[in-house]
């Protein structure tokens, strides 16, 4: 179907070219500035429909135009203003219940967009001078004036309003609402029919948010309205975290600013244009000429310009979204347009030109208002919508409502006058125009709406989508609406599937300064740039983001950990130094093996308890030490397996008591050797200590001291089950917290103190003439023991989790193995492998040799 449309459009090009290149009739140089539709009471209508040029040149950028000849430029789109005025007047004149026996008429004056000409036309109308001369405060004619109807720009209304304010003359404006015109100190009798755009910024920003357009441009007129709407947009966009890529103010003249204005226009795919038709006309024409087909235009007014020489298929405004105030369609107006022709309205100076342009009529040589050779079915409703739209526009609706407001005011005044004094002898209604102000302020318009309804009611907006591909199609399709009175979240309604985007886009366009940060990343602002311009950085360890464009990542709970993509928190598995894992299994096996070896040594000593080597090294203390070492090896098993409160307490108490007994036994053995060979006490005292086995009491005394320390520890701040959720990724490690660090280090310090004491005593007796000289092995074993636990302390404070537990088990096994190996290893070697040295004969020979080799004194 698109292909057929394209072919049809191509076939129309020759016709269009011929339509715009024919010889212009001389009637286009015989044109008046005004025309009149007679009535009892006259309305002054000041609309911009055409502009004169004294020589052929490019038109001014702010002057609206559609079709151009050598000297006259027309905007036939604005001709609907006259039709709306005519339609409202005919309805009122035909209504017997409103202004009976009174007719309304109008005087039309073209607005030239120069203040001098605008004020001149207004003065001519007020004084009824037909020779372009104005005499203030003097009226030549007998017309009964009611009010002036002005628009469509605020500037034209302000210029005329400055004059009418002097006379308190009623003025109704149909252009966009302007807060400047609501200043009653300057314009005391001016009434604006258009509703306020109180919700327009909210409506447009809601649409921007809906499509997630975070980087948009803004083009506004460089006047008070532009500055006000810029402030509103900034406030609303900051609240919704939308950034402005640029703000361009439309200058009064394009001369020096023209090139700079279009710079950086390609920074964004979405640009908002706000302003009235007149202020945007030059901008719209330039956009159309530049074919900016990659931009989605969001506007509050539609494109009004058609270039004569433009035969491109593409259009810059195709896919644009237009916000228009919601009005109920007037089907009677469409029917009225179908009846409009030059014959029915011979006073209209524009209808002949429309028929001449579009229906190939020719002007009669007799009268420029008479047409010959016209098409029989010629009607305005057959023209394309981009040339003439039969649907009543927003401005036309305001004109229609304004005429009705004036009619109701006249009707109320007439009823009031009849109540005071009935008319006599055919006397008509007599009043001064300024008297209408009282009624205009209070009159109720159609549908029971006050003239100031715009100030109290948030209007609804229709969202139109411009379909203009191929160019000339000119369809405006309603794709949504916005109502500020709707509940939050339901204000915007859109049918996305109906929207046609600019031809370059195959899906909803994106407009962002930076690409979205996906899940697992967060935004990092770029220094010196808007908040919408950012870099993406991965979330930190154990933090996630499961949405796009987050400012901060969310930390996972202690019981969870972040997955590799860092977009989800996973449940951590509980872990501990278990028997079934390699490290726990290895440590447990080593502990059992060493305890088995210790039991094996005990068996060897029991079997050879009558041999000299066993008897010579304090047999009783040796068995106590061996049994204690067995418990030392076995107590390490408390550290392996799932912790519980009992296991945590047993870990430290059994470890402390077992090692205290072991070290106390070594200390007792060393002291026994020293007492036997080196103490200088009186003989009786030494003999008593040796006979009573006094050194053996060191074991219970030292053990009781350790038990006291452990008791205080368990009573004040005992060990408890703790969780380490940070050491091992994805796991919560269960372990025993020592509770009181002071108590733990006190217990460990006490053990090191005993080890140091034992080493000292053993070191002092290392060269004594002991038969098997056990002191050397005691001192070396204590040195290894002391080094193991001194090394353990820094390792203990630098590790966490299961490694910490494994290090403590390793230290227990290593220090216990040192005692077993260095104290009992040599003895087992002699007992098992060198039994010849474990005999009394060998001992006698050894002692005899020692005495023989000793120096003589």
- Sequence spans of domains, the chain: 2-195+329-455, 521-571, 582-852
What's the pLDDT tens digit per position in 569-581?
A: 998 888 888 888 8
CA-nearest of 436, 453, 458 to 401 is: 453
Least confident of 164-178, 242-256, 417-431: 417-431
CA 459, CA 328: separation in Å to the nearest integer? 12
pLDDT of res. 20: 35
Q: How far from 97 is each of 92, 185, 752, CA to CA, in Å?
A: 9, 36, 117
Cα Rg of the chain, angstroms: 53
**Cα–Cα dist 226/521, whole Å:** 39
- The answer on pLDDT for 448 being more than 60 is no
Strand ranges, E, within 457-597 = 460-467, 475-483, 492-494, 521-525, 534-538, 543-544, 554-555, 560-562, 569-571, 573-575
pLDDT tier at 450, thresholds 50, 70, 90: very low
pLDDT tens-digit readout, 186-205:
888 899 888 888 889 999 99
More confident residue, 125 or 472: 125
The sign of the CA dihedral 325, 326, 328, 334 is: positive
Say which CATH topology domain 582-852 has: Rhopdopsin 7-helix transmembrane proteins (1.20.1070)
Q: Which of 113-117, 536-540, 609-613, 651-655 has the highest mean pLDDT?
A: 536-540
pLDDT in tens, 717-746: 888 888 877 777 778 888 888 888 888 888
Burial class (CB in 10 A: 0-12, 13-18, 19+), 387: middle
- Answer yes or no: are the C-beta atoms of 789 and 813 closer than 8 Å: no
pLDDT at 839: 64
Q: Angle between the 645-677 and 619-635 helix axes, to the nearest 10 degrees?
A: 160
Length of the chain: 857
215 strand-pairing partners: 243
Q: Quick one: pLDDT at residue 786?
A: 76
Structure confidence at residue 435 as a pLDDT band (50, 70, 90): confident
Confidence of residue 694 (pLDDT cuts 50, 70, 90): low
pLDDT (0 to 100) of residue 739: 85
- Band the pLDDT of 845: cuts 50, 70, 90: low
Question: pLDDT at position 370, please?
Answer: 65
Strand-pair partners of 336: none
Residue 856 has pLDDT above 50, yes or no: no
pLDDT at 819: 85
Q: State the Cα–Cα distance between residues 810 and 110, nearest whole angstrom.
A: 104
pLDDT at 770: 52
pLDDT at 607 over 70: yes
Q: What is the mean pLDDT of residues 62-87?
A: 68
Element (H, E) at 321: strand 321-325
How confident is the model at residue 639, as a pLDDT? Answer: 86
pLDDT at 592 over 70: yes
Average pLDDT, integer, range 657-685: 72
Query: What does the pLDDT look like over 811-828, one tens digit per residue?
Result: 889 888 888 888 888 888
Mean pLDDT on 351-374:
76
Q: Which segment of 168-177, 293-302, 649-658, 794-803 scores lowest on mean pLDDT?
A: 794-803
The predicted-structure confidence for 292-335, as pLDDT tens digits, reads as follows 888 999 998 876 655 444 556 778 888 999 998 887 778 889 88
**C-beta separation of 424 from 460 below 8 A:** no
* Per-chain mean pLDDT for the chain: 79
User: Does 650 score more than 70 pLDDT?
Assistant: yes
Q: What is the pLDDT, as a whole number, of residue 275?
A: 87
Does 170 have pLDDT greater than 90? Answer: yes
Homologous superfamily of 2-195+329-455: Response regulator (3.40.50.2300)
**Strands of the sheet with 731-737, listed across from one edge:** 573-575, 731-737, 720-724
pTM, 2 dp: 0.66
Query: Which of the four pLDDT bands, split at 50, 70 and 90, describes residue 374?
Result: confident
| Per-residue model confidence as pLDDT tens digits over 14-24 | 334 333 333 45
Torsional sign, CA 360, 365, 370, 376: negative
* Higher-confidence position of 108 and 418: 108
């Amino acid at each position: 179907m698109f292909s057929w449309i394209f072919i049809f459009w191509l076939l129309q090009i020759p016709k269009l070219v011929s339509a715009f290149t024919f010889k212009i009739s001389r009637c286009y140089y015989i044109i008046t500035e005004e025309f009149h539709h007679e009535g009892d009471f006259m309305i002054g209508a000041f609309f911009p429909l055409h502009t004169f040029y004294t020589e052929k040149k490019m038109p001014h950028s702010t002057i609206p135009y559609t079709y151009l000849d050598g000297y006259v430029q027309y905007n036939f789109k604005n001709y609907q203003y006259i039709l709306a005025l005519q339609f409202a007047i005919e309805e009122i004149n035909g209504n017997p219940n409103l202004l009976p026996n009174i007719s309304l008429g109008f005087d039309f004056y073209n607005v030239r967009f120069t203040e001098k000409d605008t004020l001149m036309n207004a003065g001519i109308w007020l004084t009824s001078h037909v020779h372009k001369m104005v005499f203030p405060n003097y009226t030549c004619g007998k017309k009964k004036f009611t009010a002036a109807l002005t628009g469509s720009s605020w500037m034209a209304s302000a210029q005329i309003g400055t004059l009418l304010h002097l006379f308190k003359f009623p003025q109704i404006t149909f252009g966009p609402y302007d807060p400047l015109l609501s200043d009653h100190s300057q314009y005391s009798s001016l009434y604006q029919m258009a509703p306020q755009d109180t919700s327009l910024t909210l409506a447009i920003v809601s649409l921007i948010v809906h499509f997630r357009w975070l980087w948009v441009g803004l083009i506004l007129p460089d006047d008070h309205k532009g500055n006000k709407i810029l402030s509103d947009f900034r406030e609303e966009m900051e609240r919704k975290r939308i950034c402005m890529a640029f703000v361009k103010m439309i200058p009064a003249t394009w001369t020096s600013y023209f090139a700079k204005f279009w710079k950086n226009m390609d920074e964004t795919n979405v640009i908002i244009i706000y302003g009235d038709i007149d202020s945007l006309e030059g901008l719209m024409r330039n956009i159309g000429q530049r074919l900016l087909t990659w931009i989605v235009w969001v506007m509050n007014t539609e494109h009004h310009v058609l270039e004569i020489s433009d035969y491109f298929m593409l259009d810059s405004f195709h896919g644009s979204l237009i916000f228009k105030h919601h009005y109920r369609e007037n089907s009677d107006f469409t029917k009225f347009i179908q009846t409009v022709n030059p014959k029915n309205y011979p006073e209209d100076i524009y209808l002949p030109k429309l028929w001449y342009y579009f229906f190939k009529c020719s002007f009669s040589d007799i009268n420029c208002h008479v047409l010959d050779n016209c098409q029989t079915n010629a009607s305005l409703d057959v023209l394309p919508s981009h040339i003439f739209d039969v649907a009543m526009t927003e401005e036309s609706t305001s004109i229609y409502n304004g005429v009705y407001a004036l009619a109701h005011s006249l009707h109320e005044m007439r009823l009031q006058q009849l109540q005071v004094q009935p008319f006599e002898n055919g006397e008509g209604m007599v009043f001064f125009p300024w008297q209408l102000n009282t009624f205009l302020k209070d009159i109720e318009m159609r549908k029971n709406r006050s003239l100031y309804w715009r100030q109290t009611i948030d209007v609804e907006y229709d969202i139109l989508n411009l379909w203009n591909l191929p160019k000339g199609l000119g369809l405006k399709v309603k794709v949504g609406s916005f109502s500020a009175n709707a509940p939050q979240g339901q204000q915007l309604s859109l049918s996305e599937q109906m929207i046609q985007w600019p031809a370059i886009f195959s899906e909803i366009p994106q407009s962002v300064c930076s690409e979205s940060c996906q899940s697992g990343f967060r935004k990092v602002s770029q220094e010196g740039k808007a908040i919408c311009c950012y870099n993406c950085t991965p979330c930190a360890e154990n933090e996630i983001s499961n949405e796009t464009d987050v400012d901060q990542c969310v930390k996972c709970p202690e019981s969870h950990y972040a997955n590799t993509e860092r977009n989800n928190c996973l449940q951590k598995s509980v872990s501990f130094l278990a028997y079934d894992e390699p490290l726990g299994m290895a440590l447990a096996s080593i502990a059992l093996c060493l305890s088995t070896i210790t039991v094996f040594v005990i068996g060897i000593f029991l079997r050879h308890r009558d041999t000299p080597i066993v008897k010579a090294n304090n047999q009783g203390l040796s068995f106590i030490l061996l049994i204690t070492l067995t418990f030392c090896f076995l107590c390490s098993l408390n550290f392996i397996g799932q912790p519980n409160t009992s296991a945590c307490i047993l870990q430290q108490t059994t470890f402390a008591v077992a090692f205290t007994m072991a070290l106390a036994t070594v200390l007792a053995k060393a002291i026994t050797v020293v007492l036997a060979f080196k103490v200088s006490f009186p003989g009786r005292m030494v003999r008593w200590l040796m006979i009573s086995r006094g050194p053996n009491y060191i074991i219970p005394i030292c053990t009781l001291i350790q038990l006291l320390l452990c008791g205080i520890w368990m009573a004040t701040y005992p060990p408890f089950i703790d969780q380490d959720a940070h050491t091992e990724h994805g796991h919560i490690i269960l372990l025993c917290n020592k509770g009181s660090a002071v108590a733990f280090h006190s217990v460990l310090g006490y053990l090191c103190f005993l080890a140091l004491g034992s080493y000292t005593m053993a070191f002092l007796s290392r060269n004594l003439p002991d038969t098997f000289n056990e002191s050397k092995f005691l001192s070396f074993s204590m040195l290894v023991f002391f080094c193991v636990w001194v090394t353990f302390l820094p390792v203990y404070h630098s590790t966490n989790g299961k490694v910490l537990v494994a290090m403590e088990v390793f230290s227990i096994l290593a220090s216990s193995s040192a005692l077993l190996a260095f104290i009992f290893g040599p003895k087992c070697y002699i007992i098992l492998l060198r039994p010849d040295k474990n005999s009394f004969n060998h001992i006698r020979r050894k002692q005899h040799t020692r005495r023989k080799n000793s120096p003589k004194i």
